[in-house]
Amino acid sequence: MTSKSTVEVKIWVDADACPNPIKDILIRTSQRLAIPLTFVANQSVRIPNSELVSLITVRDGADIADNLIAEKMQVGDLVVTQDIPLAARVVEKGGVAIGVRGQLYEDGSIQSRLGTRNLMEQLRSAGVETSGPKPLKPKDVQTFANTLDRTLTKALKKKT
């Protein structure tokens, strides 16, 4: 495989709930920087014919894709997910997690986000209606692209 860099950073995507504009940015970034990109989903995801971009399809079930990503990702890898528990596992394992709106999940912030997520889950379980995520806006896509760029620039500097 010919690549522009000899970097071992990989990008993993929790792809079932990943919006198409975010997938497109990830594919373009993978191609531009020659970074392997793996989508993990329990359904088919359209990917380009590229040796850098792959799809792992898992069986349907709670946390199957999350578990596979957490198992296979390595220290320094980047994981794109909306799932806070998965993001916490990634950070704990030494990876970097980014939400689809550009949230960077780090040691200092992930525990409070996990606590908020668990509280909201308890409220929903008790029958309290909570609002779901807001629709993705162009500003969110731009924030994601900027966070992705900054994060990969930092990761590539560490690996060289």
Pairing state of beta strands 104-105 and 96-98? antiparallel
Q: What is the reported pLDDT for 141?
A: 97
- Provide the pLDDT confidence category of residue 129 given band limits of 50, 70 and 90: confident
Q: What is the mean pLDDT of the chain?
A: 86
Domains in the chain: ranges and CATH: 11-155 (3.40.50)
Lowest average pLDDT, out of 2-16, 75-89, 126-140, goes to 2-16
Q: What is the reported pLDDT for 29?
A: 97
User: What does residue 105 show for φ and ψ, rounded to 5 degrees?
Assistant: -90, 120
Q: What is the reported pLDDT for 134?
A: 78
Rounded distance between C-alpha atoms, residue 145 and residue 160, angstroms: 22
Please report, for residues 11, 20, 29, 81, 131, the alpha-carbon distance to residue 17 in angstroms, rounded to integers and kept in the order given: 16, 9, 19, 8, 17
Q: What is the reported pLDDT for 113?
A: 64
Taking 50 as the threshold, does the pLDDT of residue 157 lie above it? yes
Tokens for 154, please give them: 């930092």
Rounded distance between C-alpha atoms, residue 160 and residue 158, angstroms: 6
Q: What is the reported pLDDT for 131?
A: 66
Q: Which of 25, 2, 11, 51 is nearest to 136 (CA)?
A: 25
Taking 50 as the threshold, does the pLDDT of residue 1 lie above it? no
Q: What is the pLDDT of residues 31-81, one digit of tens each?
A: 999 999 999 999 888 999 999 999 999 988 778 999 999 999 999 999 999
Q: What is the reported pLDDT for 3?
A: 41
